[in-house]
Amino acid sequence: EAGVAQSPRYKIIEKRQSVAFWCNPISGHATLYWYQQILGQGPKLLIQFQNNGVVDDSQLPKDRFSAERLKGVDSTLKIQPAKLEDSAVYLCASSALYRGGAFFGQGTRLTVV
Amino acid sequence: AQTVTQSQPEMSVQEAETVTLSCTYDTSESDYYLFWYKQPPSRQMILVIRQEAYKQQNATENRFSVNFQKAAKSFSLKISDSQLGDAAMYFCAYRSARTYKYIFGTGTRLKVLA
């Protein structure tokens, strides 16, 4: 079974530029999560999708972050414009609706300079 | 709101010895799941073990086992016969059975000494 795929693995941008991350979850997983992990901290939930609907985006900085999940499968997370404090690892995860844990991709390390 | 607390920023263990990582949580929900995840330097989060709150029996996966104390809201991870490959950050996580939202602790860095 293929795991959660994320791209790119690394990205370096200047502040005020825009950036997009892509995630392909495990086939059949209804729930998709985007987390932000700042160095030395635990992951913080940015947004949670159930199929293609948003369940929780209470911690998403909506003035600069946006996310969508097309046809309940792939998802993109965008930052525009980026700030220095957005430097972090962005993790995508997916889970089946009722059982098991969430499975994570390898993450994208974003550096804003 | 639910919270997860890991009070040990760093732990060390000798190879082949046993180590226990602590985790406490707070919730008003009665139905939930608890997890331990491992994050090596490659940074991919790997699911180590899972515990359903309605199960009294502690979960076990090979060298990994948990001590789940529901009344005390405690969920510790025991690693037996520690191996060099166990060195990583370990995160305790809570998942609501109602919202499927995961909340992570701040992590414990485990060092394994040869």
With an 8 Å Cβ cutoff, the interface of chain A facing chain B consists of 31, 33, 37, 41-45, 48, 50, 55-56, 89, 91, 93, 95, 97, 100-107, 109
Which amino acid would we find at residue A20?
Answer: A
Q: How many CB atoms lie within 10 A of CB A18?
A: 11
Q: Which residues touch B39 (CB under 8 Å, ≥6 apart)?
A: B45, B46, B88, B89, B90, B91, B107
Residue B99: per-residue pLDDT? 85
Question: Quick check: B37 pLDDT over 80?
Answer: yes
Question: Quick check: A54 pLDDT over 70?
Answer: yes
Q: Is the distance from CB of B77 to CB of B90 less than 8 angstroms?
A: yes
Instruction: Please report, for the domain that includes residue B7, its CATH number.
Output: 2.60.40.10
Residue B107 domain boundaries? 3-113
In this structure, is residue A108 part of a structural domain? no
Question: Quick check: B11 pLDDT over 70?
Answer: yes
Per the listing, tokens 């485990």 go with B110
Question: Quick check: A1 pLDDT over 80?
Answer: no
Alpha helices in B1-114 (DSSP H): none
Residue A41 domain boundaries? 15-96
State yes or no: cis peptide before A8, omega within 30 of 0: yes
Q: What is the mean pLDDT of residues A84-91?
A: 97
Pairing of strands A103-104, A108-112: unpaired
Cβ–Cβ pairs < 8 A, chains A and B: 56
Q: Counting runs of H as helices and runs of E as strands, what totals does chain B give?
A: 0, 12
In this structure, is residue A106 part of a structural domain? no
Question: Quick check: B90 pLDDT over 90?
Answer: yes
Residue A51: per-residue pLDDT? 86
**Following DSSP, what letter does each residue of A75-110 receive, concatenated?**
EEEEESS--GGG-EEEEEEEE-SSSS--EE---EEE
Residue numbers in A near B48 (CB within 8 A): none
Distance CA B30, CA B54 (A): 8
In this structure, is residue A87 part of a structural domain? yes
In this structure, is residue A2 part of a structural domain? no
Residue A91: per-residue pLDDT? 96
Q: What is the mean pLDDT of residues B37-57?
A: 91
Residue A5: per-residue pLDDT? 96
Question: Quick check: A97 pLDDT over 70?
Answer: no
To the nearest whole percent, how much of chain A has pLDDT over 90? 81
Q: What is the mean pLDDT of residues B42-49?
A: 90
Instruction: Please report, for the domain that includes residue A63, its CATH number.
Output: 2.60.40.10
Model confidence at A99, pLDDT cuts 50, 70, 90, reads low
Q: Which residues touch B3 (CB under 8 Å, ≥6 apart)?
A: B25, B26, B103
Residue A98: per-residue pLDDT? 63
Question: Quick check: A2 pLDDT over 80?
Answer: no
Total structural domains in chain A?
1
Please count the CA atoms within 13 angstroms of the CA of A41 that sit on its side-chain side: 14
